Amino acid sequence: MHIKTLPVVAAVGHILCHNIADDQGRKAFNKGRRLRPEDISQLTGLGVATVRVAVLEPDDVHEDEAALRLAQIVAGPGVIIGEPHAGRVNLRSAYAGPLMIDTEALLAINLIDGLTVATLPPYTLVAADQMLATIKIIPFAVPASDLAQAGAAADAQSVLRVAPMVRRRIGVALVSSPAARARVERGMLPAIVGRITDLGATMIGCCHVPPDEAEVAASLHELLAAGADLIITAGETSVVDRDDVIPRAVRRIGGEIAHYGAPVEPGNLLLLAYLNAADDRIPLIGAPGCVRSRDQNIVDLILPRLMANERIGRREIVALGPGGLLGAARRG
């Protein structure tokens, strides 16, 4: 594509680079318009003799078609592609779930001159029909080779996708001394149930258990037998180290401690583990005390991802550090 100043008659078929106003200062022609033969008389009547236009090369792709092709490259499952207009296509969610982004592929695409894809932050929990991203082609056209380069960067993978939340049967184990049971239930359970319900899941069981390794292990077995596909534990005190009661109970029944501790505040004292159940690995969140609040904390960052069946481990938890100082903490 190259830009030229041409007489109005010679500009027909090319793309107008600037808006043109009428005698009252109102917009008569929009930039980006492909001039047609019937436009000649109106332009001449406005006293316009020459115009600046974009002249496309044979291998150039018009901005609208380019935006649509780029949308088709980046959009994966759960992403709805909108109609192109003025070199822009918006992407929306087909259903609720965390937004998964291949950030390396996205960076490679945005490094191609003229192609831009702006998205919500990775792992944002989106609602159905929520806007996820906007694609804008900066020039009036781009070479087809640039779109081919974008396709190679995506490498047939989903650059953007919405992960459906498939783990919806949540078990809860509240660990406390008998004397503190009522206080723990009153302080912890409503916020936990609220989170579960907001995500479209159901609490299928709640065990109250004293801080004893064998009894906590038995309660985890009970929840697994009831069909829990994700378990949240919380208690009178947060897990204080990998040898605390809940981690020992996890290991006692053959589970794996994926990570302890998180660079997130509120939520530093997170435990993440996986339990064996038939042919599945059931995630277990050892929630810190901040779970009693509905203010955003570590549980809100990882629960939707675990419900979407993402296997989170040490690396994924540590990667939460940038941005890990959450709203409630920033206000303090």
The answer on 140 and 16 residing in a single domain is no
Q: Are residues 322 and 210 in the same domain?
A: yes
**What is the pLDDT at residue 330?**
63
- Reading the block at residue 238, the tokens are 């947060």
Report the distance separating Cα 271 and Cα 255, nearest Å. Answer: 13
181 lies in the same domain as 268: yes
Q: Which domain covers residue 290, as residue numbers?
A: 169-331
Q: Tokens 């690995």 appear where? A: 281
Instruction: Provide the pLDDT for residue 22.
Output: 85
Peptide bond into 266 cis (omega under 30): yes
Contact 166, 225 (CB under 8 A): no
What would the mean pLDDT of 130-143 be, rounded to a whole number? 96
* 151 plus 102 within the same structural domain: yes
CATH number for 267: 3.40.980.10
How many other C-beta atoms can be found within 10 angstroms of the C-beta atom of residue 126?
21
Reported pTM: 0.88
Q: What is the DSSP-derived secondary structure letter of residue 85?
A: B
The whole-angstrom separation of Cα 249 and Cα 39 is 78
Same domain, 192 and 272: yes
Cis peptide, bond prior to residue 322, ω within 30 of zero: no
Q: pLDDT tens digits for 259-314?
A: 999 999 999 999 999 999 888 999 999 999 999 999 999 999 999 999 999 999 99
Domain with residue 88: its CATH number is: 3.90.1170.30
* Claim to verify: residue 49 and residue 70 sit in the same structural domain: no
**Same-domain status, 27 and 76:** no
> pLDDT tens across 188-241, in order?
999 999 999 999 999 999 999 999 999 999 999 999 999 999 999 999 999 999
Number of structural domains in the chain: 3
CB 126 within 8 A of CB 93: yes
